[in-house]
Chain A
Amino acid sequence: MKFIDTHHDQWHTITGEDGPVVTLTPTAYSLLTFAQWHAIRAQWPQHLPVGVSFGNDEEIESLEEDLPRLSLVALHFPKWVDGRAYSQARILRSRYRFPGEVRATGEVLVDMMALLKRTGFDAVVLRADQDRAAAERALTFFAGHYQGDVEDNRPIFARSGT
């Protein structure tokens, strides 16, 4: 799991004074909203790294055709107990085989770590008050799980070879 320090992050969002701007200039490592990406994707140069920040109430299927061009998808937790983004991540990885970074943003807490990792997130922006050491410890409690996940698709019965 990659812990993102927002002060030293190569990715940057594009915001105007009144929120997201629609007209923008393609620059490397832009993390765009889905609306921004939609507006500019026709002009976005191939191979210029771009990421999309995706709402948890949007249909992840609508992102499918864009995935080959994206290096990063940021999935959002408006509240940490809102578990929709876990399903989105899972579909990105298992169904669309998205190989880029899947980053958790919003209310990202220590005790979500194992769930995030197992559903396909590989980067997190912890909420500012969260302790990184505790987050790393939260990844260590279980040696294994019953059901398959994005890390190992096989449930325990397929792993143990019975």
Chain B
Amino acid sequence: MYQYTSFDRQFVKQRAAQYRDQLERNLAGTLGDDEFRPLRLQNGWYVQRHAPMLRVAVPYGDLTSRQMRTFAKIAREYDRGYAHLTTRQNVQFNWIPLDRSADVMDVLAEADLHGIQTSGNCIRNTTTDCFAGIAPDEIVDPRPYCEVLRQWSTLHPEFAFLPRKFKIAVSGAAEDRAATAWHDIGLHLLKNDAGEVGFKVLVGGGMGRTPVVGTVIREFLPWQQILVFIEAIVRVYNRHGRRDNMYKARIKILVKAEGPKFIADVEEEFKNILEHDVDGAAHLIPQAELDRVARSFVVPQGVAPLVSQFHVPADAPVAFKRWVERNVHPHKVSGYRAVTLSLKRAGQAPGDATDTQFEQAADLADRFSHGEIRVSHDQNLVLPWVREDELFALWEAAKSSSFASPNIGLLTDMINCPGGDFCALANARSIPIAAAIADRFADLDELYDIGDIDLHMSGCINSCGHHHSGHIGILGVDKDGKEWYQISLGGSDGSRISGDATPGKVIGPSFAADEVPDVIEAVIETYRHQRAANELFIDTVKRVGLDAFKSAANAARRSTAKAA
């Protein structure tokens, strides 16, 4: 894990002090609410439906058990006893009064945590593969590059007020587990024929009202140049991105509107920086710096390859077998596995954890994973360093914290935003819909029979729940002050089973809330009738097309039957 230097630690404390000054001026009335707003946003403070929401940055999803305990403490002492994990690997609190916000920033800073650039029209927290550094299919470990990017993007003076938010995701494995094509910049680490490391650079992906998949702007950029190249991209965007309409302000719109000219502008800017700017090459990353950062991301002391002889005994409990099948993942170190602690279980909102569960996850990380734990893009927790011979003990411990639902990758492992229960932007609630679907598909045999499927749900078009990229996408919409749900099929986040990233297609007018579980069931039943042997849901959708699914979904309408 990255080890904070004294500079990093000092920096976060200085940021907390700066925020306290801003908050105090706001409370004293010398900094108006409208002008305080962008400042608090860039520290992670939104004002939501009930209270401010705090989004804490988890750089590339990597946490220590100590930091998990800080989340537990904040949830317990400042919030109402729980927090939410996001698709961008961050952690959100919902109930902290704004006048205590500066105190919370101090508590976070004590644990090397902060909310820097987790919101606002700036470069957000860089995300990556939750199996970075441990995945057998990894080509290059993305974490050192993510950390270099974190440092470069943190309080970049030129890019604090971009036209709109700006998100970067990095993947270093054969499998893209970071939905890179859906980001403003998506980076794929790879090696060229000479074995040199570089990035394939995508630009202009994004969800929202206009879902767009990123365009490749460079097939191979030597890794040393990545900061300069991103600076060129963001500068062109800062100068030319639209600011007249917030719905057209993301870089994807600029890339689409300008096409090859955008790429030419970036390449020219890149060249200008290197050839004409004072010390233009200063941000080329020296090998020594990469090495210095990479030293933080070594295999933890005490982890050494073991003879892999793990197998599930024939007489093991079925639940353990299932857990091993779904929640235990291969590891590049022989004798080790990565384990997902599922935060998708009955009775709790997807991605939520209580203060006690944060403590318990921290304990599990200490006991089984060298004190390290990760937040996944799918809103679960991952223990990256678990010995195979401790899997059974971990499973038993995880069960008692409700972390052992053996459902990773299955229908109930859905991605879900907090929705209208919490979010001021949302048009509709997502948590009750998620609960109703989880209820409907509570039978594990059925879930296993349905197999791998991505169900993604957003409470509004801002797409925090990534509905565009779900094999099944559910989008909350508002009509006449009532909640409705639009359902799409065939979306992909760009993972191997899902195929090239693409937005799903809407299957008809929106449904009423109480119809949604029936519609999902009808869609699933259609799949089960139509599928070929061993065919995944997404492949059946691609093969047979939408019509069969549409008619099944329409047949499940009740109150919306007339409208349809």
Interface residues in chain A, defined as those with a beta carbon under 8 Å from any beta carbon in chain B = 80-84, 86-88, 90, 93-95, 97, 109-111, 114-115, 118-119, 131, 134, 137-138, 141-149, 153-158, 162
Contact = CB atoms under 8 A, between A and B. Distances in A.
B161 A81 contact: yes
Given A95-B278, A144-B7, 8 more contacts: A83-B159, A84-B238, A86-B157, A97-B278, A110-B25, A134-B25, A138-B18, A145-B157
Nearest to B291: A162
Contact of B161 (A83, A138, A144): A83
15 contacts: A86-B158, A86-B160, A86-B238, A88-B239, A95-B276, A111-B31, A114-B157, A115-B161, A134-B21, A143-B14, A147-B154, A147-B156, A157-B286, A157-B289, A162-B292
Contacts of A83: 121, 158-162, 238
Nearest to B292: A162
B278 A119 contact: no
B277 interface: yes
Contact of A81 (B121, B156, B289): B121
Output the residue of B15, B283, B292 with the most chain A CB within 10 A: B283
A82 B163 CA distance: 7
A157 B292 contact: yes
Contact of A94 (B21, B278, B289): B278
Interface residues of B, number: 46
A90 B243 CA distance: 20
Contacts of A157: 285-286, 289, 292
A134 B272 contact: no
Contacts of B235: 87, 90
Contact of A115 (B10, B157, B278, B279): B157
A56 to B, nearest CB: 9
B151 interface: yes
B162 A162 contact: no
B21 A142 contact: no
Contacts of A109: 35
B159 A153 contact: no
Nearest to A145: B155
Contact of B10 (A137, A143, A148): A143
B158 A90 contact: yes
A80 B30 CA distance: 16
A119 B158 CA distance: 6
A111 B18 CA distance: 10
A142 B14 contact: yes
A155 B238 contact: no
B17 interface: yes
Given A95-B276, A153-B279, A80 B35 contact: yes
